[in-house]
Amino acid sequence: MIVSRPSGNLACAGLLAVCLIPSDVSAHDAARLSIPPDASAVLKTFLAHVRPEAIMQDAEVADCTLSGGTTTRCVKLVLKQAPREEPGPWCPSTIEDGPEDAGIWFKDGKVYDADGAFVKNLAEFYDDPKWQMYDPKTGEVLVSRSFDACFGVARPDVWKAYYYYCAQCTPEQTVFSPIRTLFIPLDPVPVDEPIELTDHPGAGISLDGVRFEGPAPVNAILHAYNIAPFDDCGGHVNPYFGYHYHFATECLETVEQSGGHADLVGMAMDGHGIYSQLDADGQEPPDLDSCRGHTTAGLGYHYHAAPLGVNRVIGCFRAELGCALSPGSQTCDARLPLEPIEVPLPPPGSIPPE
| Entry pTM | 0.90
Span 171-222, pLDDT tens digits = 999 887 889 999 999 999 999 999 999 877 899 999 999 999 999 889 999 9
Span 237-282, pLDDT tens digits = 988 889 999 999 999 999 999 999 999 999 999 999 999 999 999 9
**For the chain, which residues make up each domain, given as ranges?**
33-80+180-208+252-325, 99-174+219-238
Span 278-325, pLDDT tens digits = 999 999 999 999 999 999 999 999 999 999 999 999 999 999 999 999
In whole angstroms, give the CA distance from residue 44 to residue 48. Answer: 6
Q: Residue 324's closest CA among 174, 248, 213?
A: 213
- For every residue of 181-228, DSSP letters joined together read EEEEESS--EEEEEEPP-TTT-SEEETTSPEEPS---HHHHHHTT-B-
- For every residue of 110-164, DSSP letters joined together read EEEE-SHHHHHTHHHHTT-TT---B-TTT-BB-B--SHHHHHHHSSSS--GGGTT
Q: How far is CA 304 from the centre of its chain?
A: 16
Confidence band for 348, pLDDT divided at 50, 70 and 90: low
In whole angstroms, give the CA distance from residue 52 to residue 56. Answer: 9
Is residue 349's pLDDT more than 50?
Answer: yes
Q: How far is CA 241 from CA 58, 176, 250, 253, 330, in A?
A: 22, 7, 22, 20, 19
Q: With H, G, I as helix, E, B as strand and everything else as coil, classify residue 53.
A: helix
Residue 5's pLDDT is 41
